[in-house]
Amino acid sequence: MNTLNSTITSEANLPEETRAQKYDDKPAETVIEEGRTVGKPLASDPKFKLRNVEVFYGEARAIKNISLDIGRNEVIAFIGPSGCGKSTFLRCLNRMNDSIDICRVKGSLQLDDQDIYDPKRDVVELRARVGMVFQKPNPFPKSIYDNVAYGPRIHGLANRKSDLDDIVESSLRKAGLWDEVKDRLDASATGMSGGQQQRLCIARAIAVSPEVVLMDEPCSALDPIATAKVEELIAELSASYTIVIVTHSMQQAARVSNRTAYFHLGHLVEVNDTTKVFTSPEHELTESYITGRFG
């Protein structure tokens, strides 16, 4: 196993051809076959149908022929070593990669059977349906109230002040923040603790009634108590939303998700029920990662 370990930890720096040659000498189950994902990559009631997805940054191929369904109201966790493409793949789901000039996305990506990359698609509307929460809490330098009211105002979701008040309150309640902030809605969001800021960003994302919430390592800047609160929140939100969460923490993936997807060097190696991934993974590379042999 040590040989496998040292091979894998250093391979990220190797050119593609060298990597392929190295894998030729390995037992079959450690080989990554492009486009093949072991386990259960498909879902019976898919919200997203993603087929043969490839993402390029200039000439570099960061996502290599990935096909995956994401089920309605499921929580799916993306795990894998740093640089394996988790964020890149996540950003395809609401076209967040559009803002990166050198980035090109190929393949078929559908949300409710409609092409996400249809040039006629309204990207602002797409991002209201597929909201996003980032690694570092990024509240606007505005009041707590105005942060949550921002999306509903832009999208014209409330005609009267009282409607807007209702949306702000219900979003803050869903984000588990209402009791902490109800007496200081006019205070600046930037004065909140990191954990509160992240829950505020979640409130801001859900204020426009999205169908999906994408979270890219939402707890990596938070302490354990704030992390526990966000995880509780994910469990509550999972009743009404489809949630895709990238996480570095395998414990977190195990706690919050129904299925877990293991990424490796731009490939999607394995997708399975979360308990299966963490107790009896089907692919050797998944096993090496979850047992801490690399990553």
> Which residue number, 134 or 178, has a Cβ lying nearer to Mg ion?
134
How many beta carbons lie within 10 A of that of residue 74, not counting itself? 19
| Minimal distance, residue 112 CB to Mg ion, in Å | 26
Phi first, then psi: what are they for 2, rounded to 5°? -60, -35
Q: Which does 83 bind (CB under 5 to 8 A by kind): Mg ion, ligand ADP, none?
A: ligand ADP
Question: Hey, what amino acid is at 114?
Answer: Q
Nearest of 78, 114, 116, 83 to residue 98 by alpha carbon: 116
Is 197 near Mg ion (CB under 5 A)?
Answer: no
| Minimal distance, residue 10 CB to ligand ADP, in Å | 15
Is 147 near Mg ion (CB under 5 A)?
Answer: no
CB contact set of 238 (below 8 Å; sequence gap of 6+): 73, 74, 75, 256
Q: How far apart are CA 228 and CA 195, in angstroms?
A: 10
**3-class DSSP state for residue 64?**
strand
> Which residue number, 79 or 189, has a Cβ lying nearer to ligand ADP?
79
> Which residue number, 90 or 148, has a Cβ lying nearer to Mg ion?
90
| Minimal distance, residue 58 CB to ligand ADP, in Å | 7
For 118, how many CA atoms within 13 A lie in the half-sphere containing its CB? 11
Q: Which does 195 bind (CB under 5 to 8 A by kind): Mg ion, ligand ADP, none?
A: none
| Residue with the shortest CB distance to Mg ion | 87
70 and 107 in contact (C-beta within 8 Å)? no
Q: Which does 139 bind (CB under 5 to 8 A by kind): ligand ADP, Mg ion, none?
A: none
| Minimal distance, residue 36 CB to ligand ADP, in Å | 20
| Minimal distance, residue 268 CB to ligand ADP, in Å | 12
Q: How far is CA 107 from CA 54, 56, 124, 181, in A?
A: 6, 12, 22, 44
Region of 139 on the Ramachandran plot (φ > 0 left; ψ -120 to 50 alpha; else beta):
beta
Residue numbers 70-89 binding Mg ion by CB under 5 A:
87
> Which residue number, 87 or 286, has a Cβ lying nearer to Mg ion?
87
Phi first, then psi: what are they for 68, rounded to 5°? -160, 140
| Minimal distance, residue 103 CB to ligand ADP, in Å | 7
Q: Which does 178 bind (CB under 5 to 8 A by kind): Mg ion, ligand ADP, none?
A: none
Q: Which does 85 bind (CB under 5 to 8 A by kind): Mg ion, ligand ADP, none?
A: ligand ADP
> Which residue number, 148 or 285, has a Cβ lying nearer to ligand ADP?
285
Binding site residues, ligand ADP, CB under 6 A = 57, 62, 80, 82-88, 100
Supply 214's token pair.
């994408």
CB contact set of 277 (below 8 Å; sequence gap of 6+): 39, 253, 260, 262, 270, 286, 290
| Minimal distance, residue 165 CB to ligand ADP, in Å | 38
Residue ranges that bind Mg ion, judged by CB under 5 A: 87
